Amino acid sequence: MYNQGNMQLGEIMYGRSCYFYADEEDLADLTRALKGLGNYKFVQIRSNLNQPNLIFSDPTELLPLAMVTPSNPTRIASFLIVHNDQQIFEREIALKDGSGFIKIVDQNQNWNSVVLAFGGNCEENTLIMSDINTVGDTEIALTMHNKFKKLVVTKTIKIGKKGSPHRLMPGAVEKLKSGWRLASDKNWSRCTDANIPAEEIAKI
């Protein structure tokens, strides 16, 4: 069993993030590659109503639930990634309307983990950013994050300013060339988009 560590009240967890843009084919390729990184389980962070949190051992099964699509434009289905033999701590929340409960699994109680949040195509010609992150700074969490980030880095190119570049997988590159908007989120300001001058796009 992996030790969760001894975080004290008020102690700050700094964490890390790896943001990237990927279309459906890119994400399918990424989840296939994730299978080769070790024995992990992928736990639904927010359960369905009156249901336990779904747990998957095969990351390729996540896309139908987690990917942003025109019919599901809001990224709400994130997954906690932990080692197979790690205990999961959850909390149950009773809904105010009396309809039942949902169960939440998050990093505040599961520090030895990373979170995977898929983006995708939220509407015509708009691609939403994906993210692999951790708010935990335990050795296990950081080692896992570095491993997953390395995989993303090998499958992406960087564009934009040196201090704040954007990472794009091949399908996202082609969509950028075709005039798609690559957005951090559907309702975020366009100043956060992955965008470079047209003459630079042509050189990619």
Tell me the C-alpha distance between 22 and 26, whole Å: 5
pLDDT at site 2 = 42
pLDDT at site 73 = 66
| Residue at 175 is within a domain | no
| Residue at 116 is within a domain | yes
| Residue at 180 is within a domain | no
| Residue at 1 is within a domain | no
| Residue at 181 is within a domain | no
Give the contacts of 47 (CB within 8 A, at least 6 positions apart): 53, 54, 102, 103, 104
Give Cα separations from 69 to 18, 25, 97, 167 (angstroms). 21, 13, 28, 20
List the pLDDT tens digit at each of the 204 positions of the chain: 444 444 444 444 557 899 999 999 999 999 999 999 999 999 999 999 999 999 999 999 998 888 888 777 665 679 999 999 999 999 999 999 999 999 999 898 999 999 999 999 988 899 999 999 998 789 999 999 999 999 999 999 998 776 668 899 999 999 999 999 999 887 766 667 777 666 666 667
Task: Domain of residue 151: give its range.
Answer: 16-155
- Strand bridging mode 181-183 / 126-128: parallel
| Residue at 168 is within a domain | no
| Residue at 96 is within a domain | yes
Which DSSP letter does residue 167 get?
E
Tell me the C-alpha distance between 48 and 163, whole Å: 39
Tell me the C-alpha distance between 132 and 8, whole Å: 25
Q: How many Cβ atoms sit within 10 Å of the Cβ of residue 59?
A: 21
Domain count for the chain, please give it: 1
| Residue at 141 is within a domain | yes
